[in-house]
C-alpha cells in the first residue's frame, strides 16, 4: 500500500540519519476547524514528521501546511513549559506549580475580597474550542469565578450566528451546516475556506469538496469584496461592498416572494411568520439595494432564481457575514433564504449535524432564546449567552466606579491582537491590579499577566472535538490518545483549569452521572451512580467525562443498553475515526422554540431592520478596511513556527490599482492608514483582487512587543490591524464587533 510505503520511507530515513527507532501515531489536528487526521512519525520524545492520515474517515489524507508543521509547533523552544510569575521589576521568572497556583489564588481572592466577584473578568480565547479541557472545564471555571464579566473570542467571531439560530430554532448552538458533499449549488458569503479551511462547517479538504461539487455538475458561487483563492476556483464571484450582504440577501428574499419562488418543501407546517418576512422584504427590491451593496439588480434576481431552481442549494456565510455592521441580520437572512427555498434540513441543503456526544430530544419545543439578562456596566450592552462583548472589556477596566474590573483571567486568548481598538486594551491591561493567563506563550497579552500557567503541549494530551463534531458535514466520531509521554514537570490543561477553579475532577464526573440518573430521558434514568461510576473508562479526567458523554448520547452504548453503541473504548479501537453516516433531517426534533416551529421572523431581528433601511440611502464613497486570512497563519499565535514563516511578507495592505493611483501609493511602498481609533504604517500591495474602495489587512500580527518571547514571530512582526478597528462599532443584537467595513483614510507614509 502506498500509505505504508511513504510512512516507512520516512521512518527509514529518520532511522538512518539518527540511528533511532521510530513509530507511527495518529492524532486529530487541533489547529483549525477542519479537524484533519494526522499521521505522525515519532522518534523517542519527538515528532519528526506529520502528514495527512489517508485512512481517516473524514479527512482521507488531507493536510495543510499548519498540520504538516505540527511537530515544530509542539517542540517550539519558545513554548512555556513551566509557570511564570512577574516580579516587581516587571520581568517574568520560572517558578514551581505550587508557588504559581498559590500566587494566582491569592491575587484573585484579594481582588474579589476587596471589590466583589465582578471585579475579576475572564476572557476565553479561540483555542478553548480546540482542546478537551476548554469545553469541559471552561464552564466550571467561569461558574467558580461567579463574575458577570465574562468575555470571549465569540464576540469577535460567530456570536451573530448564535443569536440568529437562537431565535430561529430556540437553541443558539443549533447551527445548520452546508451539506457540501450532496449540494447542487453552494453559495459562500464572506467565507474563504481555501485559506481558512472552513469555519462553522467542519469539512477537511475544502478544495477537494468544492471540486467535487463542480465535478458532479453543481456550481459554486462566492460573494466577497475580494477575489479570494476560493473565489478563483468558484464558477462565479460576486464583488459585494463590505457590510452590504444584508441588503443583498434581503433582495434575494424579496425576489423569491416577488417572483413566486418560495417553496418550503418538507419544512411546510414547521415554519411560522413567513408572511411577516415577506412584509419586511418589500422595502428591499434588488433595484433599490444595488447601489448600496454594489451588486447589479439583474445578478441578484438571477441568483435568487438559481437558488430556487436548483435541486438542492446551500447558502453559507462566515466571518464576512458575522463580523460586520448588520451581523445578526445577515446571519439570519442566510438561513431565511435557505428556509424559503426549501433547503433547510434537506440533503444537499443546510442540515443539523448530530455530534457523537449529543442526545436527540424526543419532542420539539422549549424555552426559546433570549438575551440581555444583564447588561455591561459602562456601555449598557446586553449579555448574550452568558457573556458581554469583548469590545467593551477595556471600558470596564478603565472606567472607575462600583463594579470596575480590576483583575483578569485569560485562557487561550490574545485579545491585545485580536480585539478592536486593541491599543486601548493593551494599555488597560497594564493598569490591572492582577492578571492570570493560562497560555503556552509569553505574548502581547500574557506579558501583562502576574502569573502564567502554561498547559502541556497538544502531543501529550488526548483530543476530542466537542465543538467541531457538532458542526461537521458528515457525522463522525474520533478520539486521539496522547502521542508523547507526559512531561513530568508539566501540567495538563484540564488539571490547570480544575485547580484554578477549585474543582475536584471526581466530583464533576459524579455530578454528570447524577444528572443523567435524574433525567427521565436518559438511558440510565433511575440507575445507581456508584454502579455507573465503576463502569466508566478513560485514563484521565477529561477522558472519563468524554466516555460518559459518548455512552449517554444518541449513538451511545448507554451503560449496557446497546452493546454496539459508542464508548471511549470503541473510539480508541478506531484511530482513524468512526463514520456515523451522512447528515439526517432533524426538524422538528431539533427545535427548542416555544412554538416548536422555526420562528422565521423574531421580533428583535425585525426591529433591527429599521437600521438597515437607513443604510439603503447612505453614500458609500469612502475607503473601508476588511480583513484577510492566510493559509499559514492561525489568528495571532502560529507566527513562531519557522516552517510557516517562509516566503514573502503577508502582512500587507492590499489596495486596488485605481485607489492606489488616486492616493499616489506605490507597490511595495509604505502607507499610513488611519481610522477613528488608531493609525499605523504598513507595506502596500497593489492588486485588483480587492474591489475599488476596499483595502485589506490581515489580523493577528504586530509581534515583538517588549516582554514577549517568540523569536521567530518577532523577526517578522507585521502590524496589528486591530489598532484600526473600532470598539464602538458593534452589531447591537449580538454584541459582536464590526471588524470589516471600517472607514479608513490612506496616504503615502513619509
Binding site for ligand MGD (CB under 6 A): 32-33, 125-127, 131, 153, 156-157, 189-193, 195-197, 199, 223-226, 228, 240, 242-243, 245, 318-320, 323-324, 411-415, 418, 438-441, 443, 455, 458, 493, 626-631, 633-637, 699-700, 721-722, 725, 739-741
Considering the complex, what minimum distance in angstroms separates the CB of residue 21 from ligand SF4? 26
CA distances from 268 to 137, 178, 263, 365, 597 (A): 41, 20, 8, 17, 10
* Binding partner selected for residue 631 from ligand MGD, ligand SF4, Mo ion, none, CB under the kind-specific 5 to 8 Å limit: ligand MGD
Candidates 691, 485, 602, 565; CA nearest to 47 is 485
Distance CA 645, CA 658 (A): 31
Asked if 495 is part of the footprint of Mo ion (rule: CB under 5 A), the reply reads no
* Binding partner selected for residue 31 from ligand MGD, Mo ion, ligand SF4, none, CB under the kind-specific 5 to 8 Å limit: ligand SF4
Specify the DSSP element, H or E, that contains 145: helix 133-145
In sequence order, which residues have a C-beta less than 8 Å from that of residue 740 and are 6 or more positions away? 190, 242, 243, 319, 320, 323, 324, 624, 625, 626, 627
Asked if 638 is part of the footprint of ligand SF4 (rule: CB under 6 A), the reply reads no
CA distances from 219 to 138, 185, 310, 340, 351 (A): 41, 5, 10, 20, 19
Considering the complex, what minimum distance in angstroms separates the CB of residue 67 from ligand SF4? 2
Whether the CB-CB separation of 322 and 328 falls below 8 Å is answered with: no
Asked if 64 is part of the footprint of ligand SF4 (rule: CB under 6 A), the reply reads yes
In sequence order, which residues have a C-beta less than 8 Å from that of residue 494 and are 6 or more positions away? 132, 133, 136, 137, 461, 505, 540, 541, 542
**Neighbouring-strand partners of residue 529:** none
Binding mask of the shown chain, residues 9 to 48, with x at each position contacting ligand SF4 by CB under 6 A: --------------------x-xx-xxx------------
* Binding partner selected for residue 349 from Mo ion, ligand SF4, ligand MGD, none, CB under the kind-specific 5 to 8 Å limit: none
Asked if 157 is part of the footprint of Mo ion (rule: CB under 5 A), the reply reads yes
* Binding partner selected for residue 226 from ligand SF4, Mo ion, ligand MGD, none, CB under the kind-specific 5 to 8 Å limit: ligand MGD
CB of 35 or CB of 355, closer to ligand SF4: 35
- Name the closest residue to ligand SF4 (Cβ): 67
* Binding partner selected for residue 334 from Mo ion, ligand MGD, ligand SF4, none, CB under the kind-specific 5 to 8 Å limit: none
Cell numbers linked to 504 = 475536584
- Name the closest residue to ligand MGD (Cβ): 320
* Binding partner selected for residue 34 from ligand MGD, Mo ion, ligand SF4, none, CB under the kind-specific 5 to 8 Å limit: ligand SF4
* Binding partner selected for residue 29 from ligand SF4, Mo ion, ligand MGD, none, CB under the kind-specific 5 to 8 Å limit: ligand SF4
Distance CA 397, CA 430 (A): 10
Candidates 422, 365, 319, 416; CA nearest to 708 is 416
Asked if 480 is part of the footprint of ligand SF4 (rule: CB under 6 A), the reply reads no
Q: Which residue has the cell 451539506?
A: 179
Distance CA 235, CA 39 (A): 34
Asked if 204 is part of the footprint of ligand SF4 (rule: CB under 6 A), the reply reads yes
* Binding partner selected for residue 63 from Mo ion, ligand MGD, ligand SF4, none, CB under the kind-specific 5 to 8 Å limit: ligand SF4
User: Following DSSP, what letter does each residue of 163-200 receive, concatenated?
Assistant: HHHHHHHS-TT---EE-TTT-SEEEEES--HHHH--SS
CB of 126 or CB of 183, closer to Mo ion: 126
* Binding partner selected for residue 36 from ligand MGD, ligand SF4, Mo ion, none, CB under the kind-specific 5 to 8 Å limit: ligand SF4
Q: CA angle, corner 270, sides to 267 and 276, nearest 5?
A: 100
**Binding interface with Mo ion (CB under 5 A):** 157
**Binding interface with ligand SF4 (CB under 6 A):** 29, 31-32, 34-36, 63-64, 66-67, 197, 204
Amino acid at each position: 500500500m502506498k500509505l505504508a510505503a511513504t510512512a516507512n520511507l520516512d521512518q527509514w530515513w529518520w532511522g538512518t540519519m539518527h540511528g533511532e527507532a521510530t513509530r507511527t501515531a495518529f492524532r486529530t489536528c487541533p489547529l483549525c476547524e477542519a479537524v484533519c487526521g494526522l499521521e505522525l512519525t515519532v522518534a523517542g520524545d519527538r515528532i519528526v514528521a506529520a502528514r495527512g492520515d489517508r485512512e481517516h474517515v473524514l479527512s482521507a489524507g488531507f493536510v495543510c501546511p499548519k498540520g504538516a508543521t505540527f511537530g515544530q509547533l509542539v517542540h517550539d523552544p519558545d513554548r512555556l513549559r513551566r509557570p511564570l510569575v512577574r516580579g516587581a521589576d516587571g520581568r517574568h521568572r520560572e517558578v514551581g506549580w505550587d508557588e504559581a497556583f498559590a500566587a494566582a489564588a491569592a491575587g484573585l481572592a484579594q481582588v474579589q475580597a476587596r471589590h466583589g466577584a465582578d471585579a475579576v473578568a475572564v476572557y476565553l480565547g479561540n483555542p478553548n474550542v480546540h482542546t478537551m479541557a476548554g469545553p469541559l472545564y471552561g464552564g466550571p471555571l467561569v461558574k467558580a469565578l461567579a463574575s458577570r464579566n465574562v468575555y470571549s473570542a465569540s464576540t469577535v467571531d460567530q456570536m451573530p450566528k448564535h443569536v440568529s439560530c437562537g431565535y430561529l430554532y430556540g437553541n443558539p448552538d443549533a447551527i445548520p451546516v452546508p451539506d457540501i458533499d450532496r449540494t447542487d449549488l453552494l453559495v459562500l458569503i464572506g467565507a474563504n475556506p481555501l485559506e481558512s479551511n472552513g469555519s462553522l462547517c467542519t469539512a477537511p479538504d475544502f478544495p477537494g469538496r468544492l471540486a467535487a461539487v463542480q465535478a458532479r455538475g453543481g456550481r459554486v458561487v462566492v460573494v466577497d469584496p475580494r477575489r479570494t483563492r476560493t473565489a478563483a476556483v468558484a464558477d462565479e464571484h460576486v464583488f459585494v461592498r463590505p457590510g452590504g450582504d444584508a441588503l443583498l440577501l434581503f433582495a434575494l428574499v424579496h425576489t423569491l416572494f416577488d417572483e413566486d419562488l418560495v417553496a418550503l418543501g418538507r419544512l411546510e407546517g414547521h415554519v411560522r411568520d413567513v408572511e411577516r418576512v415577506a412584509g419586511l422584504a418589500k422595502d428591499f427590491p434588488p433595484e433599490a439595494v444595488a447601489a448600496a451593496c454594489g451588486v447589479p439588480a439583474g445578478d441578484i434576481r438571477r441568483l435568487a432564481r438559481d437558488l430556487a431552481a436548483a435541486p438542492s442549494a446551500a447558502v453559507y456565510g462566515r466571518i464576512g457575514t458575522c463580523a460586520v455592521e448588520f451581523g445578526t441580520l445577515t446571519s439570519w437572512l442566510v438561513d431565511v433564504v435557505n428556509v424559503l427555498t426549501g433547503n433547510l434540513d434537506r440533503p444537499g441543503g443546510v442540515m443539523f449535524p448530530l455530534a457523537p456526544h449529543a442526545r436527540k430530544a424526543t419532542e420539539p419545543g422549549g424555552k426559546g432564546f433570549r438575551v440581555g439578562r444583564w447588561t455591561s456596566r459602562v456601555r449598557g450592552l446586553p449579555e448574550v449567552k452568558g457573556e458581554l462583548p469583548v469590545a467593551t472589556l477595556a471600558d470596564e477596566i478603565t472606567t472607575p466606579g462600583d463594579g470596575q474590573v480590576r483583575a483578569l483571567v485569560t485562557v487561550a486568548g490574545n485579545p491585545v491582537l485580536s480585539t478592536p481598538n486593541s491599543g486601548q486594551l493593551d494599555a488597560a491591561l497594564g493598569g490591572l491590579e492582577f492578571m492570570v493567563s493560562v497560555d503556552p506563550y509569553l505574548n502581547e497579552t500574557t506579558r501583562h499577566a502576574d502569573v502564567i500557567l502554561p498547559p502541556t503541549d497538544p502531543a501529550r494530551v488526548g483530543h476530542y472535538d466537542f465543538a467541531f463534531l457538532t458542526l461537521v458535514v458528515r457525522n463522525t466520531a474520533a478520539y486521539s490518545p496522547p502521542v508523547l509521554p507526559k512531561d513530568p514537570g508539566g501540567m495538563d490543561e484540564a488539571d490547570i483549569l480544575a485547580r484554578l477553579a477549585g474543582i475536584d475532577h471526581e466530583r464533576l464526573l459524579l455530578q454528570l452521572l447524577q444528572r443523567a440518573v435524574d433525567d427521565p430521558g436518559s438511558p440510565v434514568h433511575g440507575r445507581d451512580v456508584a454502579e455507573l461510576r465503576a463502569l466508566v473508562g478513560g485514563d484521565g479526567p477529561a477522558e472519563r467525562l468524554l466516555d460518559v458523554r459518548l455512552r449517554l448520547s444518541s449513538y451511545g452504548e448507554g451503560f449496557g443498553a446497546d452493546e454496539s453503541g459508542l464508548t471511549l473504548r470503541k473510539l480508541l479501537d478506531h484511530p482513524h475515526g468512526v463514520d456515523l453516516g451522512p447528515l439526517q433531517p432533524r426538524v422538528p426534533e431539533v427545535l427548542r422554540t416555544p412554538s416548536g416551529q422555526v420562528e422565521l421572523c423574531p421580533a428583535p431581528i425585525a426591529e433591527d431592520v429599521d437600521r438597515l433601511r437607513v443604510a439603503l440611502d447612505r453614500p458609500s464613497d469612502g475607503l473601508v478596511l476588511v480583513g484577510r486570512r492566510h493559509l499559514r497563519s492561525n489568528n495571532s499565535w502560529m507566527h513562531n513556527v519557522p516552517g510557516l514563516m517562509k516566503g514573502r511578507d503577508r502582512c500587507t495592505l492590499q489596495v486596488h490599482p485605481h485607489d492606489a493611483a488616486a492616493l499616489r501609493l506605490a507597490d511595495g511602498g509604505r502607507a499610513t492608514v488611519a481610522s477613528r481609533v488608531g493609525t499605523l504604517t504598513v507595506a502596500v500591495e497593489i492588486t485588483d483582487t480587492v474591489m475599488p474602495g476596499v483595502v485589506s489587512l490581515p489580523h493577528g500580527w504586530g509581534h515583538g512587543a517588549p516582554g514577549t518571547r517568540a523569536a521567530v514571530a518577532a523577526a517578522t512582526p507585521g502590524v496589528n490591524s486591530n489598532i484600526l478597528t473600532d470598539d464602538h462599532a458593534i452589531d447591537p443584537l449580538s454584541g459582536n464587533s464590526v471588524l470589516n467595513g471600517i472607514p479608513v483614510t490612506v496616504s503615502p507614509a513619509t
